[in-house]
Chains A and B, each alone.
Chain A
């Protein structure tokens, strides 16, 4: 397949551009160190990772291998010691303050291990809040909340406070909250660690459905084999180094 025609080249160029436009995340020589001298910890060393739109990626590795650190750097919650993070082609490594806040709001969805819903707001309000920060109109907010409550299978539970929901249900609200701002990527740091294995597997299946139906890009970390097997791409970290990056067919 080495014969290239004029049209083929043109085709390839187009493919290249669309392909590169599809890149959501690109990290270059990404490093994060903690402490100094004797207590220096290299939490992440020279990570070069590219994530395309629509991927469903698991970051795996033992505890302390740097999974959280990587996700925090990608999500603009932390600044790297060196190297760069490009999110939607924008270098966010040196962003701070309001610029970074707004970037997180519009480009990134977070799902935390501990759900982290606002306890005084109902499920619906938790989902709605971020759109309020974005300045989305009330009717549009209602429409999107309805749609997402349906998508995460929580119809009829919208008026409940987080304390009135099970862990699995809370995490579904968190997924909906992460999706609602129409981010480029959703980052989930051990989203199933607080759930029993059945509930965790169900949550992952739901996330995978959203990934397939809505082409939403997910990156999640886990050390649970049952969870990681659902991913289509697995990045393995050991001691802050990427040791394996494998895509399933």
Chain B
């Protein structure tokens, strides 16, 4: 207790210097916290926008489907799995999908198209597909009075085939039983634009798709993919691992978006390294200031350390005293930093800064830089400030601990 008192009073001894150091450390904390908040917030934002475009946070496939998609790699009895997934508290929604590469016939043109069978409501809850309808009405489940199912068609494909809402679309593909699949659909909507993911896709309802490709429906329903939206993107990895175990089906693979969209994830990680460089520079500048304070503080107290050692303080006791002073200083700096940064971070997280120019990443638009408030954003600067302070105090502390009491006593 007396040692702590001693440490505190030593900090208070040169108030102005300690205050300046504290402000620079607290300022460093503030900058670190803000940088982190902005970068984490932006990444969260990007991840949210990205995963809600079409990927979802977690996907389930038959094994190897991602590496080599195939009509035959199906998830069987998918309804039971969907039911199980929807019981999980962290799951917001699940969207089943069937993929069938087909030939699409327009007015008098043919184009290859990715035909995707979806459950309209579930898909709308999981991704932003519904909001991307540019013309017409979002997909519905049943057939029309004439027995035709409806289809939504991507912007570019529609343009290439010279089709628009109300036109007939003929699709030809191969059924799962080896038969030739072909059918007529009525275009009820155009989705996306020339640069979005949907541009060459055709969406029909899951029921229509299962009939089209002669796949099992109902109890035995077969699909290729289950896209899952969680309450928070940060849970994706843990959820996927946990679910993989729970499914007890060795032929299915549960994978987080980091794996499904690995190239996007990797480029994002590389980008993150850039912000660590700027944080390193902040740490360096603050550390120099702290080093200066600790060095001055120990140098001018050389004689006192001599007295402490003469009356029997061990070298380690002197060492710990200086480290304790630095630690106390660092803790106070963190408190100051926290008081400065929390309100700003909270404001950034709720309002954000509008970007001077919106960024378009593959049809996904970012127009606001959002901050984030999380344990990570607060704890990392705390750990960094404390560790770097202790690190720069190490040399002055060693110096004072090793000093000969006689020499120190003769110092002025």
Contacts of B9 in A (CB 8 A): 120-121
Chain B residues within 8 Å of chain A by Cβ, number: 24
> What separation, in Å, do the CA atoms of A178 and B304 have in the docked complex?
16
> What separation, in Å, do the CA atoms of A97 and B409 have in the docked complex?
17
What 0/1 pattern do residues 77 to 107 of A give for CB contact below 8 A with B?
1100000000000000000011001111110
**What is the count of residue pairs linking A and B with beta-carbon distances less than 8 angstroms?**
71
Q: Are A118 and B310 in contact (CB under 8 A)?
A: no
Contacts of B406 in A (CB 8 A): 72, 77-78
> What separation, in Å, do the CA atoms of A222 and B342 have in the docked complex?
63
Contacts of A128 in B (CB 8 A): 2
Report the nearest B residue to A103, measured CB to CB: B312
A105 and B10 contact, Cβ closer than 8 Å, known pairs A112-B307, A116-B303, A116-B307 = no
Q: Are A105 and B311 in contact (CB under 8 A)?
A: yes
Most chain-B CB neighbours within 10 Å: which of A106, A120, A130? A120
A77 and B310 contact, Cβ closer than 8 Å, known pairs A112-B409, A116-B409, A118-B304 = yes
In the assembled complex, the CB of A145 is this many whole angstroms from the nearest CB of chain B, namely: 12
Say yes or no for B316: interface residue by CB 8 A criterion: yes
> What separation, in Å, do the CA atoms of A119 and B14 have in the docked complex?
12
Report the nearest A residue to B313, measured CB to CB: A133
Our pick among A104, A106, A132 for the contact of B310 (Cβ within 8 Å) is A104
Q: Are A129 and B315 in contact (CB under 8 A)?
A: no
In the assembled complex, the CB of B323 is this many whole angstroms from the nearest CB of chain A, namely: 17
Our pick among A103, A110, A120 for the contact of B13 (Cβ within 8 Å) is A120
Say yes or no for B317: interface residue by CB 8 A criterion: yes
Q: Are A101 and B312 in contact (CB under 8 A)?
A: yes
Contacts of A120 in B (CB 8 A): 6, 9-10, 12-13
What 0/1 pattern do residues 320 to 364 of B give for CB contact below 8 A with A?
000000000000000000000000000000000000000000000
Say yes or no for B17: interface residue by CB 8 A criterion: no
> What separation, in Å, do the CA atoms of A194 and B309 have in the docked complex?
23
Contacts of A72 in B (CB 8 A): 406
Say yes or no for B122: interface residue by CB 8 A criterion: no
> What separation, in Å, do the CA atoms of A110 and B3 have in the docked complex?
21
A104 and B311 contact, Cβ closer than 8 Å, known pairs A120-B10, A125-B2 = yes
What 0/1 pattern do residues 168 to 188 of B give for CB contact below 8 A with A?
000000000000000000000
A133 and B303 contact, Cβ closer than 8 Å, known pairs A105-B311, A110-B311 = no
Say yes or no for A65: interface residue by CB 8 A criterion: no
Q: Are B312 and A97 in contact (CB under 8 A)?
A: no
Q: Are B13 and A97 in contact (CB under 8 A)?
A: no
> What separation, in Å, do the CA atoms of A130 and B317 have in the docked complex?
11
Q: Are B13 and A133 in contact (CB under 8 A)?
A: no
Our pick among B13, B312, B315, B405 for the contact of A130 (Cβ within 8 Å) is B312
Chain A residues within 8 Å of chain B by Cβ, number: 30
What 0/1 pattern do residues 290 to 322 of B give for CB contact below 8 A with A?
000000000000011001111111111100000
Contacts of A104 in B (CB 8 A): 310-312
> What separation, in Å, do the CA atoms of A177 and B307 have in the docked complex?
12
Report the nearest A residue to B11, measured CB to CB: A120
Our pick among B6, B304, B311 for the contact of A177 (Cβ within 8 Å) is B311
In the assembled complex, the CB of B221 is this many whole angstroms from the nearest CB of chain A, namely: 75
Contacts of A78 in B (CB 8 A): 406
Contacts of B312 in A (CB 8 A): 101-106, 108, 130, 133, 181
> What separation, in Å, do the CA atoms of A120 and B12 have in the docked complex?
9
> What separation, in Å, do the CA atoms of A132 and B313 have in the docked complex?
10
Report the nearest B residue to A132, measured CB to CB: B2
In the assembled complex, the CB of A61 is this many whole angstroms from the nearest CB of chain B, namely: 20
> What separation, in Å, do the CA atoms of A77 and B312 have in the docked complex?
10
A101 and B309 contact, Cβ closer than 8 Å, known pairs A78-B406, A116-B409, A120-B10 = yes
> What separation, in Å, do the CA atoms of A38 and B9 have in the docked complex?
48
In the assembled complex, the CB of B233 is this many whole angstroms from the nearest CB of chain A, namely: 51
A121 and B6 contact, Cβ closer than 8 Å, known pairs A77-B405, A112-B307, A116-B409 = yes
Contacts of A178 in B (CB 8 A): 311
Our pick among A98, A118, A121 for the contact of B314 (Cβ within 8 Å) is A98
Contacts of B145 in A (CB 8 A): none
Known contacts A125-B6, A128-B2, A129-B2, then 11 further A-B pairs from the complex at CB < 8 Å, ordered by chain A residue:
A72-B406, A105-B312, A116-B409, A118-B307, A120-B13, A121-B9, A129-B6, A130-B311, A133-B312, A178-B311, A181-B312
26 chain-A/chain-B pairs, Cβ below 8 angstroms: A77-B310, A97-B315, A98-B316, A101-B312, A101-B314, A102-B314, A103-B312, A104-B310, A105-B311, A106-B312, A110-B311, A112-B409, A116-B307, A116-B409, A118-B6, A118-B308, A120-B9, A120-B10, A120-B13, A121-B6, A125-B2, A125-B5, A130-B311, A132-B2, A133-B312, A133-B317
- What are the 7 A-B residue pairs with the smallest beta carbon separation, nearest first? A105-B312, A120-B9, A104-B312, A101-B314, A116-B307, A77-B406, A98-B314
